[in-house]
Chain A
Amino acid sequence: MTTKKKRSPHTATDSWVVIAADSALETEKPQNGDPTFVKLKNPATGATSQYLFSSGDERVYEVKAFNEEYRSWFIGQMVQRDGRLLYVTPVDPVFLVLPYLQSGEVEGKFQPLQQVVMDEDYPACTRLLKCKQALESVHHVADEKEVSSQKFHRYNQEKTLEWLKKKVENTVTALKKTDIAVGGAVKSTTYVRVKQESDATEEDYLRYAHGLISEYISEELSKDLHKHLQLPEISSPKVEPPSKKRKLSDKPVEAGEDYTKFNSSDFARKAPKKMTAAQKSLAKVDKSGMKSMSAFFSPKVKQEKN
């Protein structure tokens, strides 16, 4: 509302609005303790991302934030400045284990997972090995050997690509049940999309699903998977991101007949002084003198004078 005040900086957040899978909040055994948010290495980017282990590290979840600029919450009788909405959704632990398997591979040797999945930058990664789904599914991406009841693993690229292909296929099946628009080129999100393009091809679905799965694997593996799926290369794949497409100037149009300046503290009306929009703008600048350009161009609410 005000154009003069600068936005005060964010103080550290101590409250979060979250939508979490009910399974993330289940406690099978009370002695297993509470769920915990941890930081792990993002398998796609290598950067730090936030995850959550359910009680007893049974399952792992990722955290995504719905984050629109300029949003705040009312919660009961409280205001929360941070308008993010966090989603806590399941993540396949195999995705998170995979980079360690890949990088830990030495001369095709079988190794115990505990030796491979460790990271002094992300100490919580060892907890992935307690996840049921990790233990049950790791054979999809690695060869397994059991010696005197101890398991040893070795990364297997072919198996991994097959597993990823199945992931893609399952995702395609899931996508077809939704109204998510998978077709064609990227359209600006500012335009309302037709519910589901009937012309979305099998390839569109495959490409879209590949893109989604690629959010959980390295760029290199993503390229290998692309080949494995026999997806044709797109000749001009770089579509300008929608975020940069339109830059509207929302400088308000100055009304030609603004009357709010007179009829102010006086009930008796004075004859309107004629002033063009341009003159008015100029008058404003003159007064403000050293006012910055940005202040001048920022949309200003026309106020009633009184």
Chain B
Amino acid sequence: MSVNGCVTTVQLGSLSQADKSQLHLLPCEIEHDGPAEISRFFTPTVKEQKCEKTVSFRGRGLKGQEVSCPQGYTGLVLKEVQRPSSDQEDRIVKVSSVFQNFVYWNLETLPTSDDGVVKAMAWPSLAEMIHAPVD
């Protein structure tokens, strides 16, 4: 069978056990996958004034804004249950976290309605219209 024949199953049963994690989308690439002392270093230093959040990360000033999932949509963090040994294998992922909003951080400037992620949130509702059946 071709590589394109492989499927990735989402174990929905895991949804009920998924935790509700706080997500932050940072304006830099961190070359690391794994645990970090986020609740010790990051969360306590976030400051909030109205809708504007500020924090420093590695000596750089970040400004952030909360972004919500569109209506009828849910945020999920999917995690591979077992790493496949080759790309010819079916994969299984589980839902490890669910979220309804996350904080989007920019370097020094506050995210505005012109920011990519804020604008990208318009996609689901437009997609629903484009792909709705035609009568």
Does A pair with B?
yes
The reply on B38 being an interface residue by CB < 8 A is yes
The reply on A299 being an interface residue by CB < 8 A is no
The distance from the CB of A107 to the nearest CB of chain B, in whole angstroms, is 28
- In the assembly, what is the distance between CA of A80 and CA of B28, in Å? 11
Given A75-B21, A79-B34, A81-B30: A20 and B2 interface contact (C-beta under 8 Å)? no
Contacting pair B132 A71 (CB below 8 A) = no
Contacting pair B72 A21 (CB below 8 A) = yes
The distance from the CB of A71 to the nearest CB of chain B, in whole angstroms, is 6
Q: Which of A107-136 contact B (CB under 8 A)?
A: 120-124, 133, 136
Within 8 Å by CB of A89, from B4, B22, B114, B128, lies: B128
The distance from the CB of B81 to the nearest CB of chain A, in whole angstroms, is 9
- In the assembly, what is the distance between CA of A15 and CA of B100, in Å? 18
Contacting pair B26 A34 (CB below 8 A) = no
Given A37-B8, A77-B37, A167-B134: A72 and B21 interface contact (C-beta under 8 Å)? no
Within 8 Å by CB of A90, from B1, B31, B96, B128, lies: B128
Given A70-B28, A213-B130: A19 and B74 interface contact (C-beta under 8 Å)? yes
Nearest chain-A residue to B115 (Cβ)? A68
Q: Which of A7-35 contact B (CB under 8 A)?
A: 7-8, 11-12, 14-23, 25, 27, 33-35
The distance from the CB of A124 to the nearest CB of chain B, in whole angstroms, is 7
Nearest chain-A residue to B128 (Cβ)? A90
The reply on B58 being an interface residue by CB < 8 A is yes
Nearest chain-B residue to A76 (Cβ)? B21
How many chain B residues touch A (CB < 8 A): the figure is: 69
Contacting pair B26 A89 (CB below 8 A) = no
The distance from the CB of B62 to the nearest CB of chain A, in whole angstroms, is 12
Q: Which of B27-85 contact A (CB under 8 A)?
A: 27-39, 42, 58, 69-70, 72-80, 83
Within 8 Å by CB of A74, from B10, B23, B93, B114, lies: B23
Contacting pair A91 B24 (CB below 8 A) = no
- Chain A residues with CB under 8 A of B74: 19-20, 22, 25
Given A15-B78, A121-B2: A79 and B120 interface contact (C-beta under 8 Å)? no
Chain B interface SS verdict (over half): mixed
Within 8 Å by CB of B33, from A36, A38, A79, lies: A79
- Chain B residues with CB under 8 A of A90: 127-128, 131-132
Task: Say which size band chain A's interface belongs to.
Answer: 35 or more
Given A66-B116, A76-B38: A120 and B2 interface contact (C-beta under 8 Å)? yes
Contacting pair B80 A175 (CB below 8 A) = no
Interface string of B12-27 (1 = CB under 8 A from A): 1101000101111111
The reply on A212 being an interface residue by CB < 8 A is yes
Within 8 Å by CB of B27, from A71, A77, A137, A175, lies: A71
Within 8 Å by CB of A92, from B2, B5, B26, B133, lies: B133
Closest 3 pairs (CB-CB, A-B): A76-B21, A174-B129, A89-B127
Additional A-B contact list (8), CB under 8 Å, known A21-B72, A87-B124: A15-B79, A23-B72, A66-B117, A72-B25, A78-B34, A79-B32, A92-B130, A121-B4
Give me the interface of B with A, judged by CB distance under 8 Å: 1-13, 15, 19, 21-39, 42, 58, 69-70, 72-80, 83, 93, 96-97, 112, 114, 116-117, 120, 122-134
Give me the interface of A with B, judged by CB distance under 8 Å: 1, 7-8, 11-12, 14-23, 25, 27, 33-40, 48, 52, 55, 62, 64, 66, 68-83, 85, 87, 89-92, 95, 120-124, 133, 136-137, 140, 163, 166-167, 170-171, 173-175, 178, 180, 189, 192-193, 212-213, 216
